[in-house]
Amino acid sequence: MDIQQIKQRFGIIGNSNALNRAIDIAVQVAPTDLSVLITGESGTGKEVFPQIIHQFSARKHGRYIAVNCGAIPEGTVDSELFGHEKGSFTGALADRKGYFEESNGGTIFLDEIGELPLATQARLLRVLETGEFIRVGSSKSIKTNVRVVGATNVNLDKAIKDGKFREDLFYRLNSVPVNIPPLRERAGDIHLLFRKFAGDFANKYRMPPIKLDESAQNLLEKYRWPGNVRQLKNIAEQISIVESQRLLTGENLKQYLPSNAGSNLPALVGSDSYGDANYANEREILYKVLFDMKRDMTDLKKLVLDIVKSDENMNFQGEHAQIIRNLYNEEGEILQPSSTQVTPITITPRRIEHEIEDTEEFVEESLLIEEMEKEFIEKALKKHGGRRKNAAKELGISERTLYRKIKEYGMEE
């Protein structure tokens, strides 16, 4: 089967060399049992390539299971992947097979593999090396013959340096790497994709398809498409529904793109993931800066309290002691800054003459920042129609963290 037939079979649109190369590698590695790691920005269509690998392998008659690792709560991820024994934890009312046991003889696709906890990464490494795993709450090893295909939009090299991903697991997974190019590197494919999506939505909503004039086509090709193919598809659907005119001009199209639609600026320097290009406008950058600022404030408050509490041979005297006390209220919460100028503090070591009150309650987050954080989460969820994965991506946090924040702020539906 040639590459054009493969594209037609799996619904792949485009003729760029980088895309053709990725398809070619996937087909060549399919007959082997090597692990494959698929990398690329969010929205590039990474989920199609594990299906190509499975269908062109000797396992094509076996089971194919796709797992979104980022959507599984950390406390249950081991149970989901490897199964559990009855009574192993609260709610384990019966034995349960995990995905690795269910996909025995087939292929398992681990999407967003970079989101797996380190403990689960160690279990996964054992499966890859020995073909064995142990259910949660059991001591019996179970054999499985499964092929693992992983995918991530995270820069795993940086994740390894930060201690968030195991280096040995990376090399074991990355037997054959397949990189999916972002849409901005496939300028010649953008109009083809738009025409395909416009035709699909025309059939779905029973209306004539949207067409683009030359200015609109040029605008599509100049835009960076931080959300890649997924973003292009969403915009094609919006236009198909909203526009009454079926011929779209560049001016019409600008209404559906962010304010920098005509720019072709480089990605942000120091990006820690492939998807950081999503921060393409000032509002999105502000979201990320505020979340980072909040984490920095939390760390600083922890450090101040630890210094005050940990050194029993340290005491603050006179006006300096009053300055420190003025920073916190009776509940141990840090007060908002005022216009009063604070005198630099000189700490004098001295034996404690009276016991310092120990505050059990940890420092609460600033109410103002909590309100801002909640507001940004609500706006991101509203913008993406409640799709938490897309909202988390825009906010610069993991999907698991977003789930926790939604629950913490009582925003669950």
Tens-digit pLDDT profile for residues 320-343:
555 555 555 555 555 554 444 444
Give pTM, 2 decimals: 0.63
User: At residue 16, what are phi and psi to the nearest 5 degrees?
Assistant: -65, 150
Identify the residue with better confidence: 26 or 361: 26
Give yes or no for residue 63 having a pLDDT over 60: yes
pLDDT at 308: 58
- Exposure string of 330-369, with b = 16+ CB inside 10 Å and e = fewer, is eeebbeeeeeeeeeeeeeeeeeeeeeeeeeeeebeebeee
Give the closest residue to 248 by CA, choosing from 203, 195, 287.
195
Q: How confident is the model at residue 309 (pLDDT cuts 50, 70, 90)?
A: low
Overall fold of domain 3-181? Rossmann fold (3.40.50)
Q: What is the mean pLDDT of residues 274-296?
A: 55
pLDDT at 406: 84
Give yes or no for residue 257 having a pLDDT over 60: yes
pLDDT at 304: 64
Domain with CATH 3.40.50.300 in the chain: 3-181
The set of residues, in sequence order, having a beta carbon less than 8 Å from that of 377 and lying 6+ positions away, is 391, 395, 402, 405, 406, 409, 411
Tens-digit pLDDT profile for residues 386-413:
888 888 887 878 888 888 888 887 776 5
Pairing of strands 141-143, 132-134: antiparallel
Q: How confident is the model at residue 203 (pLDDT cuts 50, 70, 90)?
A: very high
Q: What is the mean pLDDT of residues 304-331?
A: 53
SS3 category, 33: coil
Domain with CATH 1.10.8.60 in the chain: 187-254
Highest mean pLDDT out of 158-167, 306-315, 318-327:
158-167
Kind and range of the H or E element at 132? Answer: strand 132-134
Lowest-confidence segment of 112-126, 290-304, 357-371 by average pLDDT? 357-371
pLDDT at 240: 93
Domain 187-254, CATH:
1.10.8.60
Six-digit token string for 122: 């160690």
Tens-digit pLDDT profile for residues 2-53:
899 999 999 999 999 999 999 999 999 999 999 999 999 999 999 999 999 9
Give yes or no for residue 226 having a pLDDT over 50: yes
Give yes or no for residue 150 having a pLDDT over 80: yes
